[in-house]
């Protein structure tokens, strides 16, 4: 019998990215990971790994055709924000299920995405795309401080900062515009967006095949950064707000052409209702798919693999409870000695998973983004509020021990 192969073009190296191979196997598929640097993926187990130039669509297509000798490639996808266009272009070339690579390129550019959403009547913050510090300052003056300044590409709160005045806006914009490459070593556009700051609680809608599967309440660290410190699922929203967020998220993915597979839609409930912050054409990070499964029984990872391999896998809730996660966030840079209180965190009723991400001896560098998260506590309860209380208590019991790096003055 011919073996069916599911191809992952790179992967996110933290969170649920490591679970995709198991989902593929559950659907009777053989998982293969194409990677430019396989050493990045020690935690993504259970997949055949093939070294490939994943920045080249032609190389990915060629690798898939080699894999198809004596086998059948059933689907090509990725769990990484950076490779959604490449995976879609390769799948399209091979006649496999995919969203339009051109639509995904527009989604990945936050300025283009915002323009398409606004043109479709989806409420977004006022924004300007800028390529110089002078343009940033002019846009910020017109928008009114505080403003959010962030790169036009990227994920995980990388480079996103709330700027209260021209000094902060100029300094942050100068640093962003000087960046030539992202954390994967890929070239980045020398452009940023300058956006109206929308006050109000933040949520994300987890969308599959154009339909909202659930809404997550998000917890953020202290301004001026936007580090996500925790998530609760399902969000405790009044019916009218739940409906408004659902309608906004589904309108957004329709406008952007994301009809197949997952989308992670971030919104804020502002004074005038839901405002779209951004749409990511992939599953959520931060272990949110795990929260959805613990709370409802629905497996979004399995459903994503099914969507891109042409297999039926409806997202069906089988239980109704709550789940929450709280992250252990590094407060200082320095050398890590270890973690205290992990066993005490595990002992909290409702806690079902405690994990630390760094080994003793690791150098911790606080950068103001998702990489500052160095562990998590995940809990389940009869409600999201009950789970959140347990996860927060567990996280409070964990303390990283490190030698703080001393800044050397000139």
Question: How would you classify the pairing of strands 3-9 and 71-77?
Answer: parallel
Read off φ and ψ for residue 169, nearest 5 degrees. -65, -45
Annotated catalytic residue, options 18, 114, 268, 282: 282
Q: Are 12 and 79 contacting, i.e. CB atoms less than 8 angstroms apart? A: yes
Active site includes 405? no
Kindly list the distances between the CA atom of residue 231 and the CA atoms of 290, 323, 365, 410, in Å, as whole numbers in the listed order.
Answer: 11, 8, 23, 41
The radius of gyration of the chain from alpha carbons, rounded to an integer in Å, stands at 21
Give the residue among 368, 401, 388, 359 at the shortest CA–CA distance from 161. 368
Residue 98: count of CB within 10 angstroms of its CB? 23
Between strands 30-35 and 3-9, the pairing is: parallel
Dig out the tokens for 390 from the structure. 């347990």
Extract the tokens encoding 105.
Answer: 């390129």
**The tokens 């597979």 sit on which residue?**
261
Element at 173 (helix H, strand E)? helix 166-177
For the beta sheet containing 351-356, the strands, ordered from the edge strand earlier in sequence to the opposite edge, are 273-280, 262-270, 202-208, 211-220, 228-233, 322-329, 373-381, 351-356
- What's the token pair of residue 27? 């659907």
Contact between 44 and 17 (Cβ < 8 Å)? yes
Which residues have a Cβ under 8 Å from the Cβ of 89 and sit 6 or more positions away? 57, 98, 101
Q: The tokens of 79 are what?
A: 């769990």
Which of the residues are catalytic? 282
């Amino acid at each position: 019998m011919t073996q069916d192969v599911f191809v992952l073009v790179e992967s996110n190296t933290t969170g649920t990215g490591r679970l995709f191979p198991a989902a593929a196997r559950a659907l009777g598929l053989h998982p293969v990971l194409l990677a430019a640097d396989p050493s990045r993926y020690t935690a993504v187990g259970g997949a055949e790994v093939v070294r490939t130039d994943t920045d080249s669509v032609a190389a990915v297509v060629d690798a898939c055709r080699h894999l198809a000798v004596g086998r059948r490639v059933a689907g090509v996808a990725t769990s990484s924000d950076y490779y959604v266009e490449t995976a879609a272009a390769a799948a399209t070339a091979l006649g496999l299920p995919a969203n339009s690579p051109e639509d995904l390129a527009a989604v990945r550019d936050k300025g283009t995405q915002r323009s398409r959403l606004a043109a479709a009547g989806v409420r977004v913050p006022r924004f300007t795309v800028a390529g110089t510090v002078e343009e940033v300052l002019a846009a910020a003056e017109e928008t009114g401080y505080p403003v959010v300044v962030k790169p036009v590409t990227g994920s995980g709160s990388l480079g996103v900062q709330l700027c209260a005045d021209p000094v902060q806006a100029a300094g942050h914009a100068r640093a962003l515009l000087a960046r030539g490459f992202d954390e994967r070593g890929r070239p980045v556009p020398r452009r940023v967006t300058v956006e109206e700051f929308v006050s109000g609680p933040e949520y994300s809608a987890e969308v599959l095949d154009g339909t909202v599967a659930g809404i997550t309440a998000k917890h953020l660290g202290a301004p001026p950064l936007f580090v996500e410190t925790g998530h609760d699922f399902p969000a405790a929203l009044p019916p009218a707000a739940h409906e408004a967020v659902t309608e906004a998220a589904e309108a957004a993915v329709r406008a952007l052409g994301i009809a197949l597979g997952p989308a992670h839609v971030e919104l804020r409930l502002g004074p005038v209702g839901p405002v779209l912050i951004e749409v990511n054409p992939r599953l959520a990070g931060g272990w949110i798919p795990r929260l959805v499964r613990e709370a409802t029984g629905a497996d979004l990872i399995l459903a994503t693999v099914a969507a891109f391999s042409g297999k039926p896998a409806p997202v069906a809730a089988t239980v109704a409870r709550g789940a929450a996660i709280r992250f252990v966030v590094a407060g200082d840079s320095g050398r890590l000695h270890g973690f205290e209180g992990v066993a005490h965190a595990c002992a909290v009723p409702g806690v079902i998973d405690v994990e630390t991400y760094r080994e003793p001896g690791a150098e911790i560098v606080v950068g103001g983004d998702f990489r500052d998260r160095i562990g998590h506590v995940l809990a389940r309860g009869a409600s999201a509020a009950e789970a959140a209380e347990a996860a927060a208590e567990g996280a409070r019991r964990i303390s990283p021990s490190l030698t703080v790096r001393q800044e050397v003055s000139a």
